[in-house]
Structure 1
Amino acid sequence: MGGVDLPAPPRDDADVPRWTAELGLPGLVDVHVHFLPDRMLRKVWAYFDAAETHYGVAWPVQYKLPQHERYARLEELGVLRFAPLTYPHKPGMGEWLTGWAGEFAAEHPRAVRTATLYPEPSVTGYLGRAVDDGARVVKVHVQVGAFDPRDPLLHDAWGLLAEAEVPAVVHCGDGPIRGAHTGLGIFAEVLEAHPTLPVVLAHAGMPDFRGAVELLERFPNVVLDTTMVGTAFSERIAPLPADWPARLAEFPGRVVLGTDFPNIPYPYAEQLAAIHGWAAAEPRLGREFLRSVLYDAPARLLGVRDQLPA
């Protein structure tokens, strides 16, 4: 019942394994992590270094480390499986990044195979091959890609994912800045055309949290990820509604852990503490909510539940 039987939230990253163990969990499953080719990642970090120009707020990347150290940090945090997400911003990148992500997963046992897409004539070809090769999730970044998710070139790609029951982690909200084709109303049209499409609304649709809940009500295969939601950083620019924990209680099993590691401007533990706060605030959430969000629901989503400890 609410926070009555909960352990203390994690104080810092080193305290995360204690917290998960006291929840009775063997570790974490994170559906929203970023690993990219090194040259591309350096450009992403340079963009965040200039975040005050882009977003009007500083964004010091917390885990600006070499790739092997970032992977090791996830191991230290107890992340048993994660989805290394990539995202293209021009034609030709989708197939390249999908191939890179496949190679990354083959070399890193805690990573699941992922894919990405871009509206281009070849998209169903490379996406279909990735699904056949075992891709567990597809990243779609409407803001960075600056494309319309309703583009006719994507119609068959959405249909392919719906038929294969492969979820898409979709950044389609207006945060941190509005794009030409962002907004949950726009992506709702994709869901109306493909109502069985499994979708993870990245950042819980930030800043339109109420709109995200409405999509949960309308489409049974939509879930929310927690990426950056409720942290002190995000509360300054996109505060949660006061009834957020109560609304989440209406949708058991439909919230999954996401963090945006390594590109976050605070420690990983802060995201976990925010989620803990929701569980403590609402009597219908509590320990079972945390077990679901942190482990059971994301493991089911990624199709790895049978590979992990009970």
Structure 2
Amino acid sequence: MNDHHVPSDGEAGEVRRFWAGLGLPGLVDVHTHFMPERVLRKVWEYFGARGPLTGGLEWPIAYRREEAERTALLREFGVRAFTAMLYPHKPGMARRLNGWAADFARRTPDCLHTATLYPEPDVGTYVREAVAAGARVFKAHVQVGAYDPADELLRPAWDVLAEAGVPVVIHCGSGPAPGEHTGPEPIARVLARHPRLRLIVAHLGMPEYEEFLDLAERYPQVRLDTTMAFTDFAEGFMPFPRRALPRLAALGDRVLLGSDFPNLPYPYVHQLHALERLGLGREWLRAVCHDNAAGLFGL
């Protein structure tokens, strides 16, 4: 475990100094988790129990607070827009989560209206309904959902999202622990069918970083989020290969800040410092921490 698991009282000031020093109006974080409190507490219990999907790692939740406190803290950090990444693990769950997320977006205007999906017969219908209701980003979690993203049941949903240009943040890499359908191959099959689909690969595709960089280089609508990448925590068990940094720099217009807030075992500011110490330059940091997502979502 690293030394960055306890947020300091002055952290909001540190975060604000970071983005102000880059001449930015704030941050845009495309990978934050808000979900029904009962569901979120089950997620926290799973992390605390070192379940197999977390790789058995020690994972204390740094921001285990009530919903209102968590939204207030993101605002104190100067996060201009964030998401409500939520995900089902069984049939019939996605539609209910989407109803909750639509209500959360109505009462939380700085949250990008988020929705989710699962391979089931009515997925095309409820994805179309969510897009019509104003969903601006979707979350797919291949590892937790234990489904093949190229499942034929999902084809109508991918069709709708590709046509509408709505981005999908997808956890499809095999970190922190592999799943039956994680890795680049299932995503390559999805993109072969839906090349215009705006996939945002969570965690830079950890640990298959280079394979997901391949897909981003091949498909101009594929993006990557930085969630947990380069932090002391992630580098300790799934380090990013330094030989791939020039490729990441070259894709600087398609890399987006993600954090995993509130489910972090270290302070939020550590993700920002981890990106800064890559040495990829001020303009790369500006794009990643704000401008790329602001352009994608029209902020």
Bin the TM-score by the shorter chain: over 0.9
1:37 paired to 2:32: no
Deviation at 1:12, TM superposition (A): 4.3
Corresponding residue of 1:179: 179
Distance across 2 between alignment mates of 1:192 and 1:108:
36
- Structure 1's 52 and 147: CA in aligned 2 closer, same or farther, altered over 3 A? closer
Distance across 2 between alignment mates of 1:166 and 1:62:
31
Distance across 1 between alignment mates of 2:12 and 2:230:
17
Distance across 2 between alignment mates of 1:39 and 1:103:
16
Distance across 2 between alignment mates of 1:176 and 1:249:
24
**CA distances 1:77-126 after superposition (whole Å, capped 9, x unpaired):** 10010111110000111111111111001001110111100011111111
TM-score normalized with structure 1 length: 0.91
Corresponding residue of 1:290: 285
Amino acid across the alignment from 2:298: V
Amino acid across the alignment from 2:184: L
Whether the 8 Å contact between 2:252 and 2:288 is mirrored in structure 1 is no
Where does 1:49-198 land on structure 2 (aligned, <5 Å)?
A: 49-51=48-50, 55-198=55-198
TM-score normalized with structure 2 length: 0.94
Corresponding residue of 2:14: 15
Whether the 8 Å contact between 1:97 and 1:115 is mirrored in structure 2 is yes
SS, match of residue 188 in structure 1: helix
1:218 paired to 2:218: yes
SS, match of residue 34 in structure 1: coil
Structure 2 unmatched runs, 5+: 1-9
Amino acid across the alignment from 1:297: N
Deviation at 1:14, TM superposition (A): 2.9
Corresponding residue of 2:295: 300
Distance across 2 between alignment mates of 1:221 and 1:115:
19
**CA distances 1:19-76 after superposition (whole Å, capped 9, x unpaired):** 2111101100010000010100010000000127652320001100000000011011
Deviation at 1:13, TM superposition (A): 4.2
Where does 1:191-270 land on structure 2 (aligned, <5 Å)?
A: 191-270=191-270
Corresponding pairs, count: 289
Corresponding residue of 2:27: 28
SS, match of residue 224 in structure 1: strand
Distance across 1 between alignment mates of 2:157 and 2:194:
11
SS, match of residue 87 in structure 2: coil
Distance across 1 between alignment mates of 2:51 and 2:39:
21
Distance across 2 between alignment mates of 1:299 and 1:83:
13
Distance across 2 between alignment mates of 1:14 and 1:210:
35
* Percent of paired sites with the same residue: 52
Cα RMSD for the two superposed structures: 1.3
Structure 1 unmatched runs, 5+: 1-10, 306-310
